[in-house]
Amino acid sequence: MRHPARWATLAVGVVVACLAVLLASQVNTNPTADEQNHLVGKQIPSFTARTFNGQTVSAASLEGKAVLVNFWNSWCIPCQEELPALKAFEQEHAGDPTVELVGVLRDDTTQAARPYAAAEGMTWDLVNDASGNLSLDFGTRGQPETYAISPAGVVVGTEFGPASTHDLDTLLAAARTRS
Positions that interact with another protein (CB under 8 A): 4-5, 8, 11-12, 15, 19, 22, 26, 31-32, 35, 38, 106-107, 129, 131-133, 135-136, 139-142
What is the nearest approach in angstroms of another protein to the Cβ of residue 81? Answer: 18
Give whichever of 66 and 134 is closer to another protein, judged by the CB atom: 134
Minimum distance of another protein from residue 95's CB (angstroms): 35
Q: Which is nearer to another protein, 142 or 151 (CB)?
A: 142
Bond preceding residue 144 cis, omega within 30 of 0? yes
Contacts of 45 (CB under 8 A, 6+ apart): 39, 59, 134, 137, 138
Please check whether residue 102 is in contact with residue 70, taking contact to mean a CB–CB distance below 8 angstroms: yes
Q: How far is the CB of 38 from another protein (least distance, A)?
A: 5
Q: Which is nearer to another protein, 15 or 94 (CB)?
A: 15
Closest contact distance (angstroms) between CB of 99 and another protein is: 28
Which CB atom, from 19 or from 173, has the smaller least distance to another protein?
Answer: 19
Q: In three state form, how does the secondary structure of 53-112 look?
A: CCCEEECCCCCCCEEEEEEECCCCHHHHHHHHHHHHHHHHHCCCCCEEEEEEECCCCHHH
